[in-house]
Amino acid sequence: MNVSRKLETFVQDNAALCRKREGSKAMKYHLSALPAEIRAAVLKCRNQIETSQGLITLPKKKQVNPRARFFMALLGKCYYCPAGPGRRTGQGRIADA
């Protein structure tokens, strides 16, 4: 059984869950026509979760600047000493005279 026939079986009782897309032969199906595990996967891609009170949009993860990501990958993890800015700990540390 292909996907379109499976979706047709999900919406056969309620025709309001699908409609013909304008300008093409495609059909559009409402999210609630999908099984729960597929609906959860679709919502996860949209950064949303479904609760009894409706959909909740989750905050997006903070994006790291691509240039900063490049330098972090290039240098590896770099830990800084809390004593002062620019003072690294470890082997690259400059000895105090």
User: Mind listing the pLDDT tens digit for each residue in 12-39?
Assistant: 888 888 888 899 988 888 888 888 888 8
- Whether residue 70 lies inside any domain: the answer is no
Tokens of 35: 């099984």
43 in a structural domain = yes
Q: What is the pTM of this model?
A: 0.49
| Structural domain contains residue 20 | yes
23 in a structural domain = yes
Quick one: which H or E segment has residue 28?
strand 27-29
Output the average pLDDT for the chain. Answer: 75
Q: What is the span of the domain harbouring residue 9?
A: 3-57
3-state secondary structure of 58: coil
For residue 41, being part of any structural domain is answered with yes
In the structure encoding, which two tokens stand for residue 75, read together?
Answer: 């240098």
Residue 78 lies in a domain: no
- Residue 45 inside a domain? The answer is yes
Number of domains comprising the chain: 1
The answer as to whether 53 is a domain residue is: yes
